């Protein structure tokens, strides 16, 4: 019945008041096959123990028919991410710690431009684990994942073909002038949904920009890189194409700035963008015009 529905804007109220079985009954079958009601009830009760009430902080839509909501408790310690489909059913619930870091106050000395041409979409980006799954990890905390969309979709045609994705083969440009210090160009592009976790960056370029700031552009298309280590590049210069190499399930560009040349031992730095402002997940953004 309608009065038994947990509407998206009321989820926090129901969760804060322990209406876990009512929430569970609104989840889709796939969710229930992974977790039975008693297991969910126990997990939810444990997560909510000694928490304040949960209030809505963000909501967004990354793909047609699915909207995500972030609920944070009044003590700013716990976070729930809930995804609803267009029918109003709950397709996913995730419990997590709500973290904020003092490094959010630090930004790059240099300013950077978006590293592509034309219109793209921010799939992941921002200083919040809801907006950016990279955020909990110091070495890529302020990283971005960019895709291209046309009419709200990242691909047209067969989703199992790389060439169907609007980002695949798109030009990638230098976000700022500097010296290329590392290039990998011979990794295979994965078939969609088969990421190569053994070589996470896949084909990638690292550029030194001075002041101990290095940009990383990853998941590039095999044999598309047009620069080599030791080359000097200008801001906006075409240097590669977007691909699907490394730990990438569908074609996208990973971009972040770090304080060293090693992506795993260096710290990610919050990027000062110019002339555009700082993008966040769900934003449509525009790089420079094609040459």
Q: Give this prediction's pTM.
A: 0.90
Domain 2-97 listed as CATH 3.40.50.720: no
Structure token pair of residue 283: 């934003």
Label each residue of 174-193 as H, E or C.
CCCCEEEEEEECCCCECCCC
**Considering only the top CATH level, what class is 102-286?**
mainly beta
Domain segments of the chain: what residues?
2-97, 102-286
Helix (H, G, I), strand (E, B) or coil at 282: coil
Q: Hunting for tokens 């953004």 — which residue is that?
A: 285
Residue 277's H or E segment, with its range, is none
Instruction: Report the distance separating Cα 72 and Cα 181, nearest Å.
Output: 41
| Tens digit of each residue's pLDDT, the chain (291 residues) | 445 899 999 999 999 999 999 999 999 999 999 999 999 999 999 999 999 999 999 999 988 899 999 999 999 999 999 999 999 999 999 999 999 999 999 999 999 999 999 999 999 999 999 999 999 999 999 999 999 999 999 999 999 999 999 999 999 999 999 999 999 999 999 999 999 999 999 999 999 999 999 999 999 999 999 999 999 999 999 999 999 999 999 999 999 999 999 999 999 999 999 998 999 999 999 998 754
Q: So what's the pLDDT on residue 126?
A: 96
Residue 15's H or E segment, with its range, is helix 11-16
Q: So what's the pLDDT on residue 149?
A: 96
Length of the chain: 291
Q: So what's the pLDDT on residue 2?
A: 47
Structure token pair of residue 165: 């994705």
Residue 72's H or E segment, with its range, is strand 66-73
2-97 and 102-286: identical CATH topology:
no
Instruction: Report the distance separating Cα 74 and Cα 258, nearest Å.
Output: 33
Structure token pair of residue 230: 């030791």
Spatial contact of 128 and 282, defined as CB atoms under 8 Å apart: no
113 Cβ partners below 8 Å, 6+ apart? 173, 175, 176, 235, 236, 273, 274, 275, 276, 287, 288
């Amino acid at each position: 019945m309608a009065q038994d529905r947990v509407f998206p804007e009321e989820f926090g109220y129901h969760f804060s008041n322990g209406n876990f079985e009512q929430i569970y009954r609104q989840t889709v079958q796939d969710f229930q096959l992974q977790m039975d009601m008693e297991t969910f009830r126990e997990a939810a009760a444990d997560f909510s123990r000694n928490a304040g009430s949960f209030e809505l902080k963000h909501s967004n839509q990354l793909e047609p028919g699915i909207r995500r909501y972030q609920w944070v408790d009044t003590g700013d310690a716990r976070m729930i991410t809930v995804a609803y489909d267009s029918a109003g059913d709950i397709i996913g619930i995730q419990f997590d710690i709500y973290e904020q870091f003092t490094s959010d106050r630090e930004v790059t000395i240099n300013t950077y431009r978006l590293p592509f041409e034309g219109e793209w979409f921010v799939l992941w980006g921002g200083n919040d684990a809801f907006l950016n799954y990279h955020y909990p990890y110091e070495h890529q905390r302020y990283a971005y994942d960019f895709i291209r969309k046309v009419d709200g979709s990242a691909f047209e045609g067969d989703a199992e073909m790389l060439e169907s994705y609007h980002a695949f083969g798109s030009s990638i440009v230098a976000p700022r002038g500097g010296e290329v210090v590392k290039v990998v160009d011979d990794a295979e592009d994965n078939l969609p949904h088969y990421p190569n976790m053994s070589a996470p960056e896949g084909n990638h370029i690292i550029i030194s920009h001075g002041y101990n700031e290095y940009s990383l552009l990853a998941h590039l298309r095999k044999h598309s890189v047009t620069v080599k280590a030791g080359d000097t590049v200008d801001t906006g210069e075409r240097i590669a194409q977007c691909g699907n190499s490394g730990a990438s399930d569908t074609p996208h560009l990973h971009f972040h700035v770090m304080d060293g040349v090693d992506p795993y031992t260096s710290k990610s730095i919050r990027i000062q963008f110019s002339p555009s402002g700082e993008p966040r997940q769900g934003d449509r953004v525009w790089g420079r015009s094609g040459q």
